[in-house]
Amino acid sequence: MDCVVSLSDKFNLGSQERVPPTESKAPSRIFWVILSVILICGMVCIAVAAALSLTQTSPKPLLQVVRLNFQNRPGSPMNQSAFVNKSKNTVTYCVTSPSNQTSLVLFDRKNGYVCYKPSGQSGCYLRMMDTWDREIVQMSFNLSEQRVGQGPLLNSRTQYYREFLEIVPGRQVQPEEAGEAVWALCEQAPIYWVKRKDGPPKQRLIYLCIDICFPSNICVSICFYYLPE
């Protein structure tokens, strides 16, 4: 009996000696925790760097279109305002008649054009800008930077005169000539070339007129007529 017990005890002791000691899992957990922290920090750094790069490289937001309101010419029922868009380098004058019809005059300094869209007309009229036109655009830009609600008041020193533009029949402006701003204004309507003249021929009547005042205290009655064919 003692022998059996002794052998059994020896067997059990031998079995216990052959069982490998249990390894600690603590180092493995610490490794994965450190790795996770490193990955999270790396992702945060990448996100912050990307945000900073986009902030530095993205263009500053463009100014909105600024509207300038002008006092009516003394004794005139016309209502006039100007929309200055510095991002497109354009100024658009809107002249509304008492019958609520609006004529538009676009100064496109980018392409060097002045475009007229008279009320009640199916077409537009285009001419090249000159030095005075560019000065008008610059004065409008200066007013828009001051964020004024009203344009310069018209006074006794305001100059009034009439300007004649002859419409060249059969000479339509091609799409590649006009530019984006002109086509947006005319909305696919036909566009005709015009040019300044001293006055219409006696045998030709004035076709239409647009009264418009500018920041330089100059008011112009722009009249169109057709050239003799």
Bridge partners for 161 per DSSP: 220
Better pLDDT: 109 or 29: 109
Q: Is the dihedral of CA 133, 134, 137, 143 positive or negative?
A: negative
CB atoms near residue 56 (< 10 Å): 7
What's the pLDDT at 127?
Answer: 93
Contact of 92 with 102, CB cutoff 8 Å: no
Number of H helices, E strands in the chain: 5, 10
Q: Please give the full DSSP string across 39-66, using - where no structure is assigned.
A: HHHHHHHHHHHHHHHHHHHSPPPPPPPE
Q: What is the amino acid identity at position 110?
A: K
* pTM score, whole prediction: 0.67
Could you give the domains of the chain? 66-155+169-196 (3.30.390.150)
Contact of 122 with 187, CB cutoff 8 Å: no
What's the pLDDT at 167?
Answer: 83
Better pLDDT: 35 or 10: 35
What's the pLDDT at 60?
Answer: 43
Q: Which residue pairs from 96-101 have beta carbons closer than 8 angstroms and sit at least 24 positions apart in sequence?
A: none
Better pLDDT: 102 or 198: 102
